[in-house]
Amino acid sequence: MSAHVLAVGEALVDGVHRPDGSSAEHPGGSVANVALTLGRLGREVRLATWLGADARGDLVRGWLADSGVELVEGSDGAERTSTAVATLDEGGSATYEFDLTWDVPTAAAAGAETLAVHAGSIAAMLQPGAAEVGTLLDSARTTSTITYDPNARPAIMGSADEVRPRVEALVHVSDVVKVSDEDLGWLYPDTDPVAVAREWQRGTPALVVVTFGGKGAVAVSDAGEVEAVAPQVEVVDTVGAGDSFMGALIDGLWEHDLLGAERRDALNAVDSATVQRILDRCCAVAAITVSRAGANPPRRAEVGQ
């Protein structure tokens, strides 16, 4: 197998309810959206997920295959395909209700050609699969860059006090962390999100990126702090925006030869100019995603090479 990213986490069907009373179903799931973004950006990516052998599972499988995402063997082991209902407000922001089960396919593992392993969101918190995610990330550090996005979903994860230690443990084993200001506001109320990023980055991660929706993002590394401004677009909805940013972040690190355990020293020494280029492109990818309905990230030709 050639060089690839392994994404480990939920794929599901999003039911979107809009303010005008209309509704629709779209394939989604935080980690699946990251894998989809990588596939659309032309990267080889495998997804270890938990789908049912049902019509909704077929919908998700077709959606992933169309963007070049390969499913890890055993990813069809669920009794039914999970669902999430997203209710959008007038500004396009979503709140979620979930019917979700999660486990890790037994065939999920990082090998010598696995440049990065990405995990996050519900799959990193919901048992029984969450414990297996942690074990996989620990073992994968010998071969791969570890990337993580908490992408908190309080409706299914529990209280911030329950979730915070688990998030911090996953940050501790990660090389790259992307987190939204909303997630940090929930996990650490009344605390400057960039201050939290600085604290996290003083541990294991080489790079911690905080996203601020339409305002852009801030990255913290040993080289200092870098800020990127998001392009101004007409927002249709924000579904999948953070996930497409995360996928573009992994893609950017790949572009600059910063993925893989043997590149960990180079990643830790990344310069601000490189971070700036990567961050600007992440914002561009996310801006395209929010300009259209559902988790619909751009293909490489839409954002340039």
CATH code assigned at 56: 3.40.1190.20
> How many folded domains does the chain comprise?
1
Record the tokens describing residue 124, joined without a space.
């990193």
The rounded distance, in Å, linking the Cα atoms of 263 and 112 is 13
What is the pTM (predicted TM-score) of this model? 0.94
pLDDT value at residue 237 = 78
CA dist list (Å): 266 to 42, 58, 175, 188, 274: 23, 41, 12, 31, 12
Spatial CA neighbour of 296 closest among 249, 237, 253, 254: 237
> 176: which residues sit within 8 A by CB, 6+ positions away?
145, 146, 147, 148, 205, 206, 207, 208, 209, 249, 250, 253, 267
Note down the domain range covering 133: 4-303
pLDDT value at residue 177 = 98
Judged against a pLDDT cut of 70, whether residue 114 lies above it is answered with: yes
pLDDT value at residue 126 = 93
Judged against a pLDDT cut of 90, whether residue 45 lies above it is answered with: yes
Mean pLDDT of the chain: 94
pLDDT value at residue 86 = 77
CB 160 within 8 A of CB 154: yes
Percent of the chain with pLDDT over 90: 80
Q: Please compute the mean of the pLDDT values over residues 199-215 and round it to a whole number.
A: 97
State the pLDDT confidence band at 15, using cuts at 50, 70 and 90: confident
Record the tokens describing residue 167, joined without a space.
């998030």
Q: Please compute the mean of the pLDDT values over residues 40-53 and round it to a whole number.
A: 97
